[in-house]
């Protein structure tokens, strides 16, 4: 158990819908990263938050957005969903004094 | 842009034998970290080993060790005394060091390791 929690574990929805994925980092970790794992694109970085502020953006679509709240949990919002958005979405957290990222169990999103 | 390449989509090893997974990367940065992550069928991403670029000594974690060749931009993982539980997808990853804080991970496409009893 990495100490990072993600909910829900599985999500099945229809095209055009909007969903919210939630992540709670390890206690004390200020950084939260979101990654997408799909069969065709592999593991791709989406976005990084540090202590409530956006630090870096990767290959995140405009239909996707994220935020980190004062209690440090983070949410990834996916809207106008398409079939190609079906993937495993990981959240990872990192302590300030160690260069390691600890991954949550992931949320498997299926868009039908 | 930084890239990570794993040229072996699949590898196989006999139980108790040794196997080496290859990884090369490209970067113009001098301060970075390299990692190997394991992803078993459960899909959980598990950190196996990490290497700081400024350290010449190769990292070792029990049966796992790396061969870090900075000039060649090569970072291979050696698994000794392979066990059935080592069967998984292995990802090589790079992250830049931003003055003590970690940047995002850039992953290779992975190597699927099978362990034969």
pLDDT tens profile B90-112: 999 999 887 656 789 999 999 99
**How far is the C-alpha of B73 from the C-alpha of B80, rounded, in Å?**
23
pLDDT at residue B80 is higher than 90: yes
Task: Measure CB to CB from residue B104 to each of A42, A58, A100 and give the nearest one.
Answer: A58
**How far is the C-alpha of A64 from the C-alpha of A78, rounded, in Å?**
5
What are A102's two structure tokens? 């600890």
First and final C-alpha spacing in chain A: 31
**How far is the C-alpha of B18 from the C-alpha of B50, rounded, in Å?**
19
CB contact under 8 A, A103 and B44: yes
When mean pLDDT is compared across A67-71, B45-49, B96-100, the lowest value belongs to B96-100
Instruction: Tell me the mean pLDDT in the region B15-20.
Output: 98
**How far is the C-alpha of B46 from the C-alpha of A109, rounded, in Å?**
21
Q: DSSP assignment, residue B43?
A: -
pLDDT band at A69 (very low <50, low <70, confident <90, very high): very high
Task: Measure CB to CB from residue B105 to each of A45, A96, A106 and give the nearest one.
Answer: A45
Instruction: Tell me the mean pLDDT in the region B72-85.
Output: 97
Please give the residue that has the higher pLDDT: either B114 or B31.
B114
DSSP B5-50: E---SEEEEETTS-EEE--EEE-S-SSEEEEEEEE-TT---EEEEE
Instruction: Tell me the mean pLDDT in the region B54-68.
Output: 95
Q: DSSP assignment, residue B108?
A: -
Task: Measure CB to CB from residue B45 to each of A44, A99, A103 and give the nearest one.
Answer: A103
Q: Given the DSSP bridges, would you call strands B101-102 and B106-107 parallel, antiparallel or unpaired?
A: unpaired
Whether A54 and A107 have beta carbons less than 8 Å apart is answered as: no
**How far is the C-alpha of A58 from the C-alpha of A77, rounded, in Å?**
15
The per-residue pLDDT for A39 is 86
Percent of chain B with pLDDT over 70: 97
The per-residue pLDDT for B82 is 98
How confident is the prediction for chain A on average, in pLDDT?
94
Instruction: Tell me the mean pLDDT in the region A83-103.
Output: 92
The per-residue pLDDT for B1 is 82
Whether A46 and A63 have beta carbons less than 8 Å apart is answered as: no
Set of chain A residues whose Cβ sits within 8 Å of the Cβ of B32: none
Whether A19 and A8 have beta carbons less than 8 Å apart is answered as: no
pLDDT at residue B83 is higher than 90: yes
Set of chain B residues whose Cβ sits within 8 Å of the Cβ of A99: 33, 50, 52, 95, 97, 101-102
The per-residue pLDDT for B101 is 65
- The C-alpha of B101 sits at a distance from chain A's nearest C-alpha, in angstroms, of 6
A25 touches B: beta carbon within 8 Å: no
- The C-alpha of B14 sits at a distance from chain A's nearest C-alpha, in angstroms, of 27
| Helix, coil or strand: residue A11 | strand
- The C-alpha of A14 sits at a distance from chain B's nearest C-alpha, in angstroms, of 24
pLDDT in tens, A12-56: 999 999 999 999 999 999 999 999 999 888 999 999 999 999 999
Task: Measure CB to CB from residue B103 to each of A2, A56, A102 and give the nearest one.
Answer: A56
**How far is the C-alpha of B103 from the C-alpha of B94, rounded, in Å?**
9
The number of CA neighbours under 13 Å toward the Cβ of B94 is 27
The per-residue pLDDT for B77 is 98
The per-residue pLDDT for B62 is 96
pLDDT at residue B4 is higher than 90: yes
Interface test with A, best of B39, B101, B107 (most A CBs within 10 A): B101
Q: Given the DSSP bridges, would you call strands B88-98 and B111-116 parallel, antiparallel or unpaired?
A: antiparallel
Instruction: State CA B66 to chain mean position distance.
Output: 8
């Amino acid at each position: 158990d990495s100490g990072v929690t993600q909910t829900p574990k599985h999500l099945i929805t229809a095209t055009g819908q909007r969903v919210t994925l939630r992540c709670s980092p390890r206690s004390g970790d200020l950084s939260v990263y979101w990654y997408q794992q799909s069969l065709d694109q592999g593991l791709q970085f989406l976005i990084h938050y540090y202590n409530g502020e956006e630090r870096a953006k990767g290959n995140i679509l405009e239909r996707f957005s994220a935020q980190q709240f004062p209690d440090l949990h983070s949410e990834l919002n996916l809207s106008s969903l398409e079939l190609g958005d079906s993937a495993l979405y990981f959240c990872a957290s990192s302590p300030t004094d160690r260069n390691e990222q600890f991954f949550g169990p992931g949320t498997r999103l299926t868009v039908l | 842009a930084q890239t990570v390449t794993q040229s072996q989509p699949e590898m196989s090893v006999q139980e108790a034998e040794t196997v080496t997974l290859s990884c090369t990367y490209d970067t113009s940065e001098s301060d970075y970290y390299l990692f190997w992550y394991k992803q078993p069928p459960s899909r959980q991403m598990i950190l196996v080993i990490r290497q700081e670029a400024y350290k010449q000594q190769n990292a070792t974690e029990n049966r796992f060790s790396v061969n870090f060749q900075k000039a060649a931009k090569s970072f291979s993982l050696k698994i000794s005394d392979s066990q059935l539980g080592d069967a998984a997808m292995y990802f090589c990853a790079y992250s830049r060091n931003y003055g003590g804080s970690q940047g995002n991970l850039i992953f290779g496409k992975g190597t699927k390791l099978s362990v034969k009893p």
